Amino acid sequence: MSQNILKCILCNSYGLTSPCSCGGERRMYKPPKYSPEDKYAKYRRQAKELEKSSKHQ
């Protein structure tokens, strides 16, 4: 069993076991390390907005 938290790719639930109750697979979930001089923050925000707008269509 994994000691790290896992996130389901289908239902976005969290847990410690790989198979999720929805039938999806849980994968490692680690947020990016914070840095005040983040070179790629602009691109991450753009990708997030793009994903958000595509879900609402």
Q: Is the per-residue pLDDT at 1 higher than 60?
A: no
pLDDT, position 39 = 87
Could you please report the per-residue DSSP string of 3-45?
Answer: SS-EEETTT--EESSSB-TTS-BEEE--PPPP-TT-TTHHHHH
**pTM, rounded to two decimals:** 0.48
pLDDT in tens, 5-33: 899 989 989 888 889 889 888 988 877 77
